Each structure stands twice: as C-alpha cells, then as structure tokens.
Amino acid sequence: MGRILLIEPDTILGKNYQAALKRAGHDVYRSTSAGAALQILDEQAIELIVLELLLGAHNGVEFLYEIRSYSDLKNIPVIINSNVAPATVRSSPGYKLLGVQQYLYKPHTKQSELVEAAGIVFDAGVVRQ
C-alpha cells in the first residue's frame, strides 16, 4: 500500500510492528534512532512516519521539529506510537505545528490498531506529494 518509516528504539517491538505493517501490505523501513531515520528519509520516498518519542540522543519531538523544517519532508504525515502518555505532549503549545495525524499510546494500543491507523492515513490520501 505505502512506504512507512518506523522509528522504534526497542528492537523487539520494532520487529513486531514492522511485521504487522508488512502483513498489511506496506513497505516498512525500520530504524532505531533519529539519525538513522534521517538517512532513510534521504534515500527513500517515505509516505508515512510511525514514531516513538522516547529515542536516544535526539528525542522524537526534536526529530519532528527537524523534519518540519525541511521543505521536502515537512508534509509527511506522522503517527506517534509512544510510551509517553498523550496528555503530556498534546498539551504543549507547539504540538499542533508538528503535523501529527494520530497519537497512539503504546500500552493501550493493539498491533491491529496501529495497522488500522496507518491504513486510515493512506486511505485519506494524506501522503507526501
């Protein structure tokens, strides 16, 4: 269906999410860090980013601010799939500028719900032009 960049520092979770999204028909590129993710964005025409905010050296919010500053990356839709409770992030003033399509809280989100959320983004046609 579409090309997804999955940014997930936990290898076990990342492999499971990747497998689930692949079973749904997507091409999934997986990275464990913001730095590796930027490299993938340079090399592949990514149409959707699934992002954990709790990354290593650069956290997910910093990563989002960075890609929103690039003209060729700023319109890529993002689904946050994070261990950070949504209320913590959504209430921050700059949240609406980050272009987040959906916020999924990992402890409450099933694999099928992540797959469904990705499907909704592609069905709605909210992909990079």
Partner 1 sequence: MKNEHTFSAADASRVPLATLAQHVRQSLLQIAQYAQSGVGNESQIDTIARTTTKLLDCYILSGHSEQLELAVEPVSLGSVLQDVLHELTPIAKQHDCTMQFVSAGASQLVATNRAFAHAAFLSLGHSFIEAIHTDNPAERTIIFASRQYGGNQTAGVFSPDVTLNARALRQIRMLAGTATQQSGVVPGSSSGIIVADALLNRTNNQLYASKFQNTPGLAAAFIKNKQMQLV
Binding site for partner 1 (CB under 8 A): 9-13, 16-17, 19-20, 31-33, 36, 54-57, 83-84, 106-107, 110-112
Quick one: which of 24, 29, 22 has its CA closest to 4?
A: 29
Minimum CB separation of residue 117 from partner 1 in Å reads: 15
Minimum CB separation of residue 39 from partner 1 in Å reads: 9
Closer residue to partner 1 in complex, CB, 11/75: 11
Closer residue to partner 1 in complex, CB, 16/101: 16
Minimum CB separation of residue 80 from partner 1 in Å reads: 15
Asked if residue 55 lies in contact with residue 83, where contact means CB atoms within 8 angstroms, the answer is no
Asked if residue 4 lies in contact with residue 26, where contact means CB atoms within 8 angstroms, the answer is yes
Quick one: which of 102, 104, 96, 40 has its CA closest to 65?
A: 96
Closer residue to partner 1 in complex, CB, 18/77: 18
Minimum CB separation of residue 70 from partner 1 in Å reads: 21
**CA–CA separation, 78 vs 87, rounded Å?**
17
Sheet holding 27-31, edge to edge: 27-31, 3-7, 48-51, 78-82, 100-105
Closer residue to partner 1 in complex, CB, 5/77: 5
